[in-house]
Structure 1
Amino acid sequence: MAFALTNRREIAGPLAALYLLRGSCTYMSASCTSLPLYDVLHELIQNGTHSCNLVELQEAESNVTIRAASFLDDYIFRPSSLDRMNLYEFAMACFRRKQSKSAATPDLFLPGHPLFNTHCIGHHQTEAVPVITGVRMPSSRTAGPDSRMYGSHRH
């Protein structure tokens, strides 16, 4: 059926089937994670305004609180045991997760983090590959001012 929905190329049918079954059309031996570099740089440069994720905290059935937390918040308010990690290494190894009583000694965010009381830092079992989002490196084929700036630092 999937082959009938696609063009008559050999690969189109299997790709459509994977899409319909919500599978990936590629094989990766490593997991990936997002590193929102544009948002981080924007937050650092704009001083105060930043993009963030809204996280819903539900303490009781009727008591719902929504807080804003960004990736940079997670990095800035990481525990001192993770101080030697740079931003890229932090994205490779860590992620935000809800605190649970069953987890063994979690890495807690420092006070000041918007989700200090409810979330902590989780660690990937194997390092993930950070996929840098939001920033696009200029093409060497274009003659824009940005590409000339990057081109002068290539040596």
Structure 2
Amino acid sequence: MIAVTVPARRLRAAMGHFATGVTVVTAAGSDGRRHGSTANAVASVSLEPPLLLVCLRDESLTLAALQDSGRFAVNVLHQRQRELAQRFARRGATWEDVAHRDGLLDGALATLECELHDIADGGDHRIVVGRVLTVEHPDEPSAPLLFYRGAYTGLEDR
């Protein structure tokens, strides 16, 4: 078998054509300190049992907190929450002026509280599988925040 190395920028550019939703994954460590990370590598894994996955960088403070506590939440962002996506895309983002209840972001399209089910190697990331414990979402449809070709966008922006 011939080993082929695809440059990271080429892979990123190709995957940029795959539009994704945008989430903020939150977790508090056993010390009570809360962390959050913007993530778009999120997917439903199973309905029975209810499992989802999220991919977080190896050095993520959020990853460390969820490994410590065994719990995390996934907040699916509304199109008007671009600032939150940008804030939590930075390491060590502060929670100052962020409206939330125990890491569940006010105004999110959906919130899913999870307990840690499994973690797998994903190169420079960890693939975190969570068992969904609770779900909150509105019944009426609303505009999600999307990530496409390296930028945040919405459905009507394209």
Specify if TM > 0.5: no
TM-score computed with the length of structure 2 as normaliser: 0.25
Greater length-normalized contact order (CA 8 Å, ≥ 6 residues apart): 2
Relative to total residues, which structure has the larger strand share, 1 or 2?
Answer: 2
- Counting helix residues as a fraction of each chain, which structure ranks higher? 1
Structure with max Cα Rg: 1
Normalized against structure 1, the TM-score is what?
A: 0.25
